[in-house]
Structure 1
Amino acid sequence: MVTALPLLTAPQASAAPANAPADAPAAEFVARPPAWQRCDPDQPAAYECATIKVPLDYRRPSGRTIDLAISRMRSENPAKRHGVLLLNPGGPGGPGLDLPLQLNEQMPKGVREQYDLIGFDPRGVGASSPVSCQLAPEEQEIMRPYRPESFPSDVAWARTVADKCREKAGAVLPFITTRNTARDMDAIRSALGERKISYLGYSYGTYLGAVYTQMFPARTDRFVLDSGVDPQRIWRGMLQVWASEAEPAFARWTRWTAQRSAEYGLGDTPEAVSRTFWALVARADKDPIPLDGMKLTGDDIRARRALFFYPAQAAPAVKALKDAADGEPAALSPAQRKLLLPTAEPAADNGTAAFLAVVCGDTEWPRYPEQYERETVRDKARYPLYGDFTSGIKPCAFWSRPIEAPTPMRTGAPVMTVQNEWDSQTPLVSGQGLHRALAGSRMVLAEGGEGHGVYLVDPASCVAAPVEAYLTTGRLPALDVTCHSAPGAAERRAASPGPSLPSPFLF
């Protein structure tokens, strides 16, 4: 990832008239052309960066501005150039400035030469006027297990984080939203002098792209929305779907593992495998299990719910846990270690602050701690692997109320959605919800595909051909497409040079 880029600040952008209607300025805001320069002496000269100015509040386009860091790698074949392809890696809170550099070598020539690849750090992120709540590492732990005795302290934590964010960045955070980021995408379009934009967005980037199609339908060209966020679940429901959809993934894992009982020794029926796992969780709750220099509690084990979307990775990892609990040597591969062991806490809070700004600021959340506790107890019983983590209280309960309503999906959007069948972050039901919400869209489903992110992320995925046909011709398939991808994507991804998606904590 590029961490420090010498950016040029473009001249002040032109603004819409001061008396423009409250919901119209974005359509009239025209950013000045960027002043491009080489991003970094250590990077290719073709990788260029710039900064444009955009309004903090598009209702007041002549008021305070913020920086928007953008990047590009131009098509090397102007005769075949179709336009620009904006890129977003997900989040909210994921930086995207280096995506053109990442994808330049990954896209087939027939796709690559049609586009200038355009990256950007979304507002509030990375090099785009980054926000901070000055949160300590332990304050950034959003997904917390429920214990009756600790719930009052969880409420205090959620209130403290919201208060800190208001104190440190309250003038900016209300405007770090998906709708304003979509307006920023349109500002990039105007700065580049383009009539329309094409787009490749992953994960949260699918919702951002969907919102753009509703706000600016006449400026929407070829859009690929990979690993879909369901607009009807924004945002608490997108956390809760992690819990509900972890249960069928866990059941699939128990069946897979039972069929290989001679290899793993975790049980010869799905029920026996499940009992082995839950016995390990109970043991770890009483006596944390030492593994690779860490001690894992039962909550730590449950927190790794994404593990079970990869049966071939989960079975040896759970076996290693059982071996460690029994005092035997436990060996983990790098992929298993990444999926099983807790990750280090971030040192800075920019990603967390931007995540909270969008997730809490896009929609209204319940305001009463008692409701969270009731629903957390209910969902821990319904979805024992992860239900309490997702339904538990969040800083959004104490956040300032949103400045805009969520974006309704009412306008037809002839775009392509792409989905793995077994995706831990944006599960299949979420991708199907996005497809349903966008009338006229076509869905490409990788049946059997595992993992989060498909096109270019999993270089062996069967989705490549239909995606590339759409990006090169602009023609969608007549019907939805279902193809078959072999499992084992975690191992392939470990060696893949494709685009990096944000931390598994994010969408």
Structure 2
Amino acid sequence: MPRTTRVVALAAAGLLAALSLAEAQGATTDRPPAADHTSRLARYYAQHPAWHRCDTPGAPASYQCATVTVPVDYARPDGQTLRLRISRLRTSRPGERHGVLLSNPGGPGNRGLGNPLSLKDALAKSVLQRYDLIGFDPRGLGASSPLRCGLTQDQADDTEPYRPYRAATFAKDTADARDIAAKCTTRNGSRLLPYINTRNTARDMDVIRGVLGEKKLSYLGWSYGSYLGAVYTQLFPRHSDRIVLDSAPDPNRFGRGTVLDMAAGAEPAFEDFSRLIARRDGTYHLGDTPAKVRAAFWQLIARADSTPLLYQGDDPEHQGEALTGTDIRSWLRPYFAAAPYQAAHEITALRTSRPTNRATRPSTGPADATTDNSVGLNWAITCADNTRSWPRDPARYQRDARNESARQPLYGDFAANITPCAFWPRGSEPATHVDNTVGALVVQNQWDPQTPLPGGRALHRALHGSRLVYVRGGRGHAVYGFPGAPTCVTRTVDAYLTGGRLPAADVTCAS
């Protein structure tokens, strides 16, 4: 999922290759869990990591790190390898220990090595006593054999990776998308890039499980991390223990479908926003009916697209910027769902902003290494996990962007416009189809701006053994373990993680 501004990624090689990959990770065998990988992978599962104190300022001595080796290509485990960085915080109650709890914070492109430290402060003691907390940077990211693309600052804009469609700029957008794909391909090529995908990250997770000496893996993932967890359950159902998937995309639409779903979710959120703000016309003065509120917003957009507005509001990220209508749509889209009153406050302030001739120049200097890695990894997974979801013909994006802009004016042109995925090398495997009976908890806010509610419901349907914890009226992206999480959600997830029993039926919580 794209990482919005602070509210808050190569066709099948044929039947024989697909069969060899299934055999390589043991998905179709009947061997017992302790030995359901092929002998060619045994050396990876048999590693004994050398734990040592992590080089993290201020971290307790009990926070330990180690390195695990995995194959670049699981179909050819005797070939090149990658080094994954993993971390752990062991339970203070060994006698009450159930196992390990591995986690992923999402992205793709968000590092997870420090997750144990975050979870130590966020989770209940009853949960912490049951698990060793395990973190890791996924392959290609952070401390785990990071890929590099050499992007410019403008190309590595991680606040809004999707560009709005404009006929006048489409040729430039196409050239820029092609350049990003070419840079990532040139620097990483066939040696690494085709093997940076969610399936291989899930396989890496199972190697981590084996290295830790565990028969099963419990898992906690948010956003893209929930998709990663779902793929793990598909590939390793017998090793899936207590699985919590929070704020999920539709697992069987990952790729372009995920981005288009964000645009589809923005429209009902905007409608809900307009109803809420119409009731507070005395505060925001945007109109006393939903229609008037919407009209006030679109009048602002038209004005800013005609002449940019100088922002002098409360958000330090945009202070002093010249904002076009397109900038405002991109910025406020997640706020309509997650923080509608903040959105109304910003619209009210912008309506009194003065026009400016100040131009925003593209940042052509090189991006810093961390951002280059994160954004490149995001594109690598978004593009390669489901290559067939991305058209190869630029003209198709033009047609789609025009149509989606008409149907979904808030964000449709962003979601449907051309991206580097149009020029990305074909992935090494087909998309993963998630459809299994593994038990899991799926947690979902009603008004999630990044992974809208239909995605969470779709994941719940794909995991036939799951239960849905639905937060009616819930706003924002990510729920469990975050400030403001409803007690109902925390209580339900804590009970599952500590006791291992799913609720008898789906759970609806009030926000």
Whether TM exceeds 0.5 here: the answer is: yes
Q: Which residue of 1 aligns with 2:177?
A: 158
Residues 204-353 of structure 1: pairs in structure 2 closer than 5 A: 204-291=224-311, 292-304=319-331, 305-309=333-337, 310-325=339-354, 347=368, 348-353=371-376
Is contact 2:222-2:248 (8 Å) kept? Answer: yes
Is contact 1:31-1:53 (8 Å) kept? Answer: no
Q: Which residue of 2 aligns with 1:477?
A: 503
Residues 457-468 of structure 1: pairs in structure 2 closer than 5 A: 457-461=482-486, 462-468=488-494
**Letter of the aligned partner of 1:150 in structure 2?**
T
Task: Give unmatched runs, 5+ long, in structure 2.
Answer: 1-18, 26-36, 312-318, 357-365
Q: Which runs of 4+ in 1 moved over 2 A?
A: 20-29, 345-348
Task: State the number of aligned residues.
Answer: 450
Q: Which residue of 1 aligns with 2:50?
A: 35
**Letter of the aligned partner of 2:123 in structure 1?**
M
Q: Which residue of 1 aligns with 2:8?
A: none
Q: Which residue of 1 aligns with 2:16?
A: none
User: Is 1:55 aligned with 2:71?
Assistant: yes
**Letter of the aligned partner of 1:308 in structure 2?**
F
Is contact 1:47-1:72 (8 Å) kept? Answer: yes
Is contact 2:308-2:355 (8 Å) kept? Answer: no
**Letter of the aligned partner of 2:327 in structure 1?**
D
Q: Deviations over 1:259-284 (max 9, x none)?
A: 11011111111111111111110110
Picking from 95, 100, 113, the partner of 1:97 is: 113
Cα deviation for residue 346 of structure 1 reads: 5.9
Inter-CA distance 418–302: structure 2 relative to 1 (3 Å threshold): same
Q: Deviations over 1:119-174 (max 9, x none)?
A: 00000010000111111111234310111111111111111111111111112111
Q: Secondary structure at the match of 1:302?
A: helix
Q: Secondary structure at the match of 1:273?
A: helix
Q: Which moved more, 1:116-125 or 1:57-66?
A: 57-66
Picking from 139, 146, 162, the partner of 1:123 is: 139
Is contact 1:249-1:308 (8 Å) kept? Answer: yes
Q: Which moved more, 1:112-121 or 1:290-299?
A: 290-299
Q: Which residue of 2 aligns with 1:389?
A: 414
User: Is 1:430 aligned with 2:459?
Assistant: no
Cα deviation for residue 232 of structure 1 reads: 2.1
Cα deviation for residue 314 of structure 1 reads: 1.1
Inter-CA distance 251–326: structure 2 relative to 1 (3 Å threshold): farther
Q: Could you tell me how far apart the structure 1 residues matched to 2:485 and 2:82 are?
A: 40
Is contact 2:277-2:290 (8 Å) kept? Answer: yes
**Letter of the aligned partner of 2:324 in structure 1?**
T
User: Is 1:359 aligned with 2:378?
Assistant: no
Q: Could you tell me how far apart the structure 2 residues matched to 1:139 and 1:61 are?
A: 34
Q: Deviations over 1:267-314 (max 9, x none)?
A: 111111111111110110111110131110011011121111121211
Q: Could you tell me how far apart the structure 2 residues matched to 1:428 and 1:314 are?
A: 20
Inter-CA distance 420–31: structure 2 relative to 1 (3 Å threshold): farther
User: Is 1:372 aligned with 2:397?
Assistant: yes
**Letter of the aligned partner of 1:116 in structure 2?**
D
Cα deviation for residue 25 of structure 1 reads: 2.4
Q: Which residue of 1 aligns with 2:221?
A: 201
**Letter of the aligned partner of 1:361 in structure 2?**
A
Q: Which residue of 2 aligns with 1:25?
A: 24
Q: Could you tell me how far apart the structure 1 residues matched to 2:240 and 2:322 are?
A: 50
Q: Could you tell me how far apart the structure 1 residues matched to 2:334 and 2:509 are?
A: 23
User: Is 1:181 aligned with 2:201?
Assistant: yes
Q: Secondary structure at the match of 2:287?
A: coil
**Letter of the aligned partner of 1:45 in structure 2?**
A
Q: Which residue of 2 aligns with 1:336?
A: none
Q: Which residue of 1 aligns with 2:473?
A: 448
Q: Could you tell me how far apart the structure 2 residues matched to 1:481 and 1:283 are?
A: 45
Q: Could you tell me how far apart the structure 1 residues matched to 2:92 and 2:256 are?
A: 43
Cα deviation for residue 325 of structure 1 reads: 4.2
Cα deviation for residue 459 of structure 1 reads: 3.7
Cα deviation for residue 223 of structure 1 reads: 0.3
**Over aligned residue pairs, what C-alpha RMSD do you find?**
1.6
Q: Which has the higher contact order (CA 8 A, sep 6+)?
A: 2
Q: Which residue of 1 aligns with 2:423?
A: 398
Q: Could you tell me how far apart the structure 2 residues matched to 1:249 and 1:296 are?
A: 22
Q: Could you tell me how far apart the structure 2 residues matched to 1:23 and 1:417 are?
A: 26
**Letter of the aligned partner of 1:36 in structure 2?**
W
Sequence identity percentage: 52
Q: Could you tell me how far apart the structure 2 residues matched to 1:325 and 1:449 are?
A: 35
User: Is 1:148 aligned with 2:163?
Assistant: no
Q: Secondary structure at the match of 1:46?
A: coil
**Letter of the aligned partner of 2:164 in structure 1?**
P
Q: Secondary structure at the match of 2:383?
A: helix
Q: Which moved more, 1:26-35 or 1:242-251?
A: 26-35
Q: Secondary structure at the match of 2:148?
A: coil
Is contact 2:310-2:355 (8 Å) kept? Answer: no
Q: Deviations over 1:40-68 (max 9, x none)?
A: 36310011011111111111111111110
Is contact 1:247-1:383 (8 Å) kept? Answer: yes
Inter-CA distance 22–483: structure 2 relative to 1 (3 Å threshold): closer
Cα deviation for residue 31 of structure 1 reads: 4.5
Q: Could you tell me how far apart the structure 2 residues matched to 1:117 and 1:459 are?
A: 23
Is contact 1:66-1:129 (8 Å) kept? Answer: yes
Q: Secondary structure at the match of 2:434?
A: coil
Is contact 1:85-1:198 (8 Å) kept? Answer: yes
Is contact 1:445-1:481 (8 Å) kept? Answer: yes
User: Is 1:407 aligned with 2:432?
Assistant: yes
